[in-house]
Structure formats: C-alpha cells, structure tokens
Amino acid sequence: MASNTILSTRVRVIILLATIAMIGAGGFFLWQTTTDRQRQLVFEIPPGTAARIAAGEVVNIFPSTIVIDLRQKDRLVIQNNDSEEVTIGPFKIVPGQRLVQRYWSPGVYELICSVHPGEQLRIVVQ
C-alpha cells in the first residue's frame, strides 16, 4: 500500500512538472510570436492636402528621410485620405487607398513624392 502511495505521488509530481513545462513552452511561443510582429511606420495623407499644396502651402507629412529597420521587420504604410491621387515613387495611391511596402535588403531609395516639399523622399533601409 505504501508503495502505491509513493508511486501515486511520483505520478502526480511528473504530471505537475509536465504541465508547468507545457505552460512555459506555450508562454515562450506566445512571446516569440509577439516579438516576430512587424513594426509599422504609418503616415496619413489627410483630407485637403492637395488643395493646400495647390494654394502654395508647404505641407509636411513625411520627414525628408524615412529609415526602415530590417531587424524590426518594418513596413511602410501610407494611407491616402485626401480626395486626390498621390504619387510616391512608382506607386499611385488613389483616395482611400493604403500602400503597404516592405523592404527586404539594405539600400537607399530616392523617390518622387507628390505631397513632399521638393517632391523628393528618401528611404534608407538598414
């Protein structure tokens, strides 16, 4: 009888340790999943931007240089909430459209940007 009690206690301890290990593994998986998420650099082109530019106003929506960090898995997101189409590099973003761009290798990109002062936008990917 004492042998059955010791065996039963050992089984309970093993089950408890296995449960703790599974919870720990699940927590690690959840942590890893959240750290693998991409960082988003979001810029909005607000309503009235084209009209402000046409009136000669300098509109600063983007910095002159946007830095993309490959280690952070950055994504560039540009939301056009204006009533006019916007050109950024080879992309035309119509009203209401969202451009999501991910970069895969380091480099410097000089782009034409219809809403940026001087119509120049530099993207540095590192």
Tell me: do 25 and 82 sit in the same domain: no
In contact, 86 and 114? CB cutoff 8 Å? yes
Q: For residue 36, what pLDDT band results from cuts at 50, 70 and 90?
A: low
Q: Are residues 47 and 99 in the same domain?
A: yes
- The pLDDT-based confidence of 62 (bands split at 50, 70, 90) is confident
Tokens of 98: 């969202």
Residues 104-123: tens digit of each pLDDT: 999 999 999 999 888 999 99
Task: Give the number of domains in the chain.
Answer: 2
pLDDT at 26 over 70: no
Q: CB-based contacts of 112: which residues, under 8 Å, 6+ apart?
A: 87, 88, 89, 119, 120, 121
Q: Do 33 and 65 share a domain, yes or no? A: no
State the pTM of this model.
Answer: 0.67
Residues forming a β-bridge with 87: 92
Domain extent for 118: 40-125
pLDDT, residue 42, reads: 94
Instruction: Give the CATH number for residue 116.
Output: 2.60.40.420
> Which of the four pLDDT bands, split at 50, 70 and 90, describes residue 30?
low
**Does 52 lie in the same domain as 22?**
no
